[in-house]
Amino acid sequence: MLGVPEDHAGAGFAHFILPTGEIFEVIERSETPEYDGRRFQVGFEVADIEVARAELIRRGVTAISEIMEAGSPDPWAYFLDPEGNVFEIKQRKPRTD
C-alpha cells in the first residue's frame, strides 16, 4: 500500500525502511502512554541508549518508559517533550547478517 517493502513486523506493528534509509513504523494504539493516541511520533537514533536516556532525564525530560528490549539489536525508550508530545530514542546496533 505504501509502495515500500515491509522490513519486518510483529504483533501490533509494521516496520519499513524507506529508500533514503529513514525508518517508517506503523504501530497499533494501546493503553500505554507511548501508544495511547493517534499522532506522528518522532524518533532519534542515539549511539548509546543508556547514556542518552540518563542525560535526558538529568536535564529534566520526562521519561514515559524504561529502555524497551534492552537486549535486542535495536533498544528504544519513550519521553515527553515540553508540550507533551511523545518522542522516541533508539539505538541501532550494527547487524552481523
**Alpha-carbon span 36 to 3, nearest angstrom:** 27
Task: Indicate whether 50 and 26 sit together in one domain.
Answer: no
Are 67 and 91 within one domain?
A: yes
Confidence bin at 55 (pLDDT 50/70/90): very high
8-23 tens-digit pLDDT? 777 877 777 777 777 7
Task: Indicate if 44 and 26 belong to the same structural domain.
Answer: no
Q: Mark whether 63 and 19 lie in a shared domain.
A: no
Q: Please check whether residue 87 is in contact with residue 78, taking contact to mean a CB–CB distance below 8 angstroms.
A: yes
Q: What is the DSSP letter of 92?
A: -
Domain count, the chain: 2
Alpha carbon distance 81, 97 (integer Å): 35
Domain extent at residue 41: 37-97
Query: Which position has the higher pLDDT, 95 or 34?
Result: 34
pTM of the predicted model, to two decimals? Answer: 0.68
